[in-house]
Structure 1
């Protein structure tokens, strides 16, 4: 199983690097929504409380919740093995995280630094999500999370399958382009 992790950085002041819309009417300054999915859909949607940073301990806590969610939503999958795709950000590459991954036998799918064109979230997910959220106003973080859950729950399973399965062709394009940026 491949699980892809995504962090949405919702900032009220400008469009973020992750390609999400400027949401002017939010009363909170900044929220991070962490989403983990596979080819069948979202496994875990989690919000990082306002003002908290993601460090190795917080990342391992999220991995604990992801492990529990996989056990609940994809029975038997943990025994077959988890392949997690995430970048080499400090919380992901920290010793504490590496020890957690080794303890549970989770494999990491290599991901080159600064390569959003090779992450399914960036080349497959953010565009449709940005279009969906465009023009919406949220009074609270709970309203935002509710809308995100609703959007993910209503996506066709083929949406997730295509996103995960297209990773191989994107990697091949990158190889064919000798490491240059891969356009969709």
Structure 2
């Protein structure tokens, strides 16, 4: 019995293709040195199609303990800031929301991302020191 390719896994691999192309254009040497990717065990990320993609391009996966939002930069760094930005706003259409999100991301300073990624290092160390337990804020 063959495993079905879910649209979510196909979409995730398409996103990885875009990421790979962006890295190739902006940081070409990084692809030769190797990419370390962090993702959780969501279905699209653990799907066979995704695993084959990652093996083909030899990208290293940083393991992610189950149920650890304190180790996902989007959870501990991005979403709170985004929620504060969107607080009180109303959008007529989905396109209006998408436009606002694109504008917000385009105007974020590089340091915003640097701070989030750098704090991940200390959070990982705390997680290791706590033997995989939650990292307190």
TM-score range (shorter-chain normalised) is 0.7 to 0.9
Q: Alpha-carbon deviations, 1:22-74, whole Å to 9, x = none? A: xxxxxxxxxxxxxxxxxxxxxxxxxxxxxxxxxx2221122112222222333
TM-score by length of 2: 0.84
Distance in 2 of aligned mates of 1:79 and 1:176 = 32
- Taking a change above 3 Å as real, the CA distance of residues 132 and 79 of structure 1, as seen in their structure-2 partners, is same
Distance in 1 of aligned mates of 2:122 and 2:24 = 30
CA apart distance, 1:162: 1.0
Distance in 2 of aligned mates of 1:140 and 1:74 = 36
CA apart distance, 1:92: 0.7
CA apart distance, 1:142: 2.2
Gapped regions of structure 2 (runs ≥ 5) = 1-8
CA apart distance, 1:94: 1.4
Aligned residues: 129
Of the structure 1 ranges 68-77 and 96-105, higher mean CA displacement relative to structure 2 is found in 68-77
> 8 Å contact 2:38–2:61 — kept in the other structure?
yes
CA apart distance, 1:180: 2.6
CA apart distance, 1:75: 3.5
Q: Alpha-carbon deviations, 1:132-157, whole Å to 9, x = none? A: 01111122222222211211222221
Q: Alpha-carbon deviations, 1:69-128, whole Å to 9, x = none? A: 222333433222211110011211111111101111111111111110111111111111
Distance in 1 of aligned mates of 2:41 and 2:25 = 28
Pick the structure with more helix per residue.
2
**Equivalent of residue 39 in structure 2, options 48, 71, 86:** 86
- Aligned Cα root-mean-square deviation (Å): 1.6
Larger Rg: 2
TM-score by length of 1: 0.64
Q: Is 1:139 the counterpart of 2:73 in the alignment?
A: no
Higher RCO, 1 vs 2 (CA within 8 Å, ≥6 residues apart):
1
Pick the structure with more strand per residue.
1
